[in-house]
Structure 1
Amino acid sequence: MSSPTSTPRDARPKTPPSTQNGASQASKPAPKPFPSVTGGCTCNAIRYRLSKPPLFVYACHCPDCQKNTGSAFALFLNIETHCIEIQTPTTPVLVTQPKRPGLVYACYACPECKTELWSANTPLGQVIADVRVGTLDFPGLMEPDVHSFVESKMGWLVLPQGARTVTRDFRFREVWPKSSLRRLDVCLKRAAEAAERTPTAGEFGGEEGEDDEAFERRRIWRN
């Protein structure tokens, strides 16, 4: 009588290791979605939602921001403009304000209460917005990654210990995290591709008397 053959050790089916509750250690939990970060203007005619985390958050202590806000500094978050989702029928309007010779401040604001929501003339153009953190429902969630123009910071304002500071302005490619720079490069590439095929007001869909800038602004907020 022949003896039963044994299955080689490596050929036996392998059972994945399990934890005490029976779940496989090899399986990884699904990544949690970005929590809803919402905001709006003072009168709530405009409500918006951020669909992604900010690229960067910074506090600006320059004299222009102090005068424009009537406060000690301005607090902004950078995010791709297409990641700002308007949730109300009312859409922001572009407002321009001459500040001094050679400087024109531009922002998107509520047409009803005039609350400024985000800047429109960032160094990166309109693909990246400078959202005013104070318009968020919970602005305390956003802590500055850097404080800029600390040379003009109010003397009585004490920054947190270890806060990152720069004397004047900063170069975003030197201070932004690598993950944000990758998102920026993707955004700039898509914007360049879209610019090559975007119709003008006169070519397609423009309302009577509407110039190219007004047409593009309406197209962005209604899409």
Structure 2
Amino acid sequence: MANQLKQILIVEDEQAIADNIAFAVETEHMEPVHAATAGAAEERLGERSIDLIVLDVGLPDESGFDFCRRIRAKSDVPIIFLTARESEIDRIVGLELGADDYMAKPFSPRELTARIRAILRRSGQAVPMSGHARPEPVFAVDEKTKTIVYKGAPLDLSRYEFRMLELMIRHPGQVFSRGQLMDHAWEEPDASYDRTVDTHIKTLRSKLRNVDPECACLQTRRGFGYCLRVGE
């Protein structure tokens, strides 16, 4: 079917990283399929039609390089390697094995989805958008007046709330740690406590839900930080 969501197989044994990738993939109107091992990934490939694979090099049961070699013996499905190693030789090996791209950890989930889209476009598998165009943004930022409008309603924000929310609006889907949010929002971040960010996030959620009681766009990524869910 023309409008069927693209299936993105995420082969990653670290659950938190897999969750972040899956979240980013979903916000870009694609369907994530997770496998924590090469063996599980092989099963997924046999069960459904996969459009692209995001493949971690360091899997618990088999090297991602070896798994890629086996995939390439029978399929030309696009592959993006993920690795904690940044050496040039690793990149060369991955690309010579037939990978389409290579990203070193840590990476931006938003950049990863941009690369996924680019590869699918090149392979003639453009990802459809709802209504053939991106929906109108639910947030509007006015830098001159330092105000943010959510679903047509101006938000009554403190200086710190404005700066944190503005940063996340500018980078939807990207996870920001408490330290990153403090560095952006506070003039003297060292004089504040990390938990201060949690308090402001809680207040921000309350203000968003005053506009839309079902709002769940301000997400917690346990062990990583916070992000703004695109399209909420």
Compare the two structures and name the one with the higher strand fraction. 1
TM-score (normalizing by structure 1): 0.31
Higher relative contact order (Cα pairs below 8 Å, separated by 6+ residues):
1
Q: Over alpha carbons, which structure has the higher Rg?
A: 1
TM-score (norm 2): 0.30
